[in-house]
Chains A and B, each alone.
Chain A
Amino acid sequence: MQQNVKKRKTKSFAKRNEKWGFILLAPWMVGVILFFLKPLVEAVMYSFHDVQLDLGVIHMTWVGMENYTYVLQSHATYYQELLMTFATAVPNSVIIVIFALFAAVLLNGNFKGRTIARVIFFLPIIMATNLISVDLTGAMGAAAETSTESDTSNLMFLAGFLVQNTSLPQELVSSLLTLVSGVFDTIKLSGVQTLIFLAGLQAISPSHYEVAKIEGATTYETFWKVTVPMISPMILTCAIYTITDNLMNTDVIELIQDTGFSSGKYGQSSAMSVIFLLCALVVIAIVSFIIGKKVYYSD
Chain B
Amino acid sequence: MIKKAKKAQQPLVKTRRKIRNLQEFSDWFKKTGSMILLSILRYALILCIGYIILLPLLEMISTAFMSPEEVGSPVSEWVPAEFSLEHIIVAFRLLNYRDSVLYTLLTTAGQVVLQILSAAITGYAFARVRSKKIQAMFAIVILTIVVPQSVMVLPQYIYFSNFDVFGIIELITGKPLNLIGEPAVLYLLDFCGMGLKSGLYIYIFRQFFRGLPKELEEAAHMDGCGFIRTLFTIVMPNATPGIITVGVLSFVWNWNDTFYTNRFVGSQLNLMVRLNRVSGAMDQFMNGLKNIPAGFYFNTSDPLYQSSILSTASLLVILPLIILYMFIQKKFVESASNSGIVG
Contacts and interface: CB of A to CB of B under 8 A. Distances in A.
Interface of A: 14, 16-18, 20-25, 27-32, 34-36, 38-40, 42-43, 46, 53, 56-58, 103, 106-107, 109, 111, 115, 117-136, 138-146, 183-184, 187-188, 192, 195-196, 198-200, 202-203, 233-234, 236-237, 240-241, 244, 247-248, 253, 256-257, 260-261, 266, 269-270, 273-274, 276-277, 280-281, 284
Nearest to B35: A219
A58 B154 CA distance: 12
Contact of A58 (B150, B158, B194, B337): B158
Contacts of A143: 59, 63, 71-72, 304, 307-308, 311
Nearest to B163: A34
A17 B137 CA distance: 16
B151 interface: yes
Given A123-B53, A241-B145, A241-B200, A18 B310 contact: no
A201 B191 CA distance: 33
9 contacts: A20-B129, A39-B151, A46-B154, A120-B54, A135-B310, A140-B56, A199-B340, A233-B342, A256-B150
A31 B192 contact: yes
Interface in B285-343: 303-304, 307-308, 310-311, 313-314, 317-318, 321-322, 325, 329-330, 332-333, 336-343
Contact of B317 (A132, A199, A261): A132
A267 B118 CA distance: 33
Overall SS of chain A's interface: helix
B193 interface: yes
Contacts of B307: 138-139, 141-143
A132 B340 contact: no
A40 B259 CA distance: 18
A31 B189 contact: yes
Interface residues of B, number: 96
Contact of B341 (A53, A107, A196, A256): A196
Given A46-B155, A115-B330, A40 B147 contact: yes
A106 B48 CA distance: 12
Interface in B114-145: 118, 121-122, 124-126, 128-131, 133-134, 137, 140, 143-145
Contacts of A247: 148
A103 B303 CA distance: 38
Nearest to A31: B192
Contacts of A25: 122, 125-126, 134, 137
Q: 5 shortest A-B CB distances, which residue pairs?
A: A31-B192, A21-B129, A139-B311, A39-B155, A237-B343
Contacts of A141: 307
A35 B148 contact: no
B306 to A, nearest CB: 8
Interface stretch (B6-14, B93-101, B103-111, B271-279): B271-279
Interface string B157-197: 01101100100000000000010000000000101111000
B149 A248 contact: yes
A250 to B, nearest CB: 9
A119 B342 CA distance: 20
A24 B42 contact: no
Contacts of B152: 35-36, 39-40, 43
A131 B258 contact: yes
A256 B121 CA distance: 34
A36 B122 CA distance: 16
B318 A20 contact: no
Contacts of A57: 162
Contacts of A241: 145, 200
A163 B38 CA distance: 31
A142 B147 CA distance: 37
Given A136-B60, A234-B343, A32 B144 contact: yes
A184 B189 contact: no
A234 B204 CA distance: 12
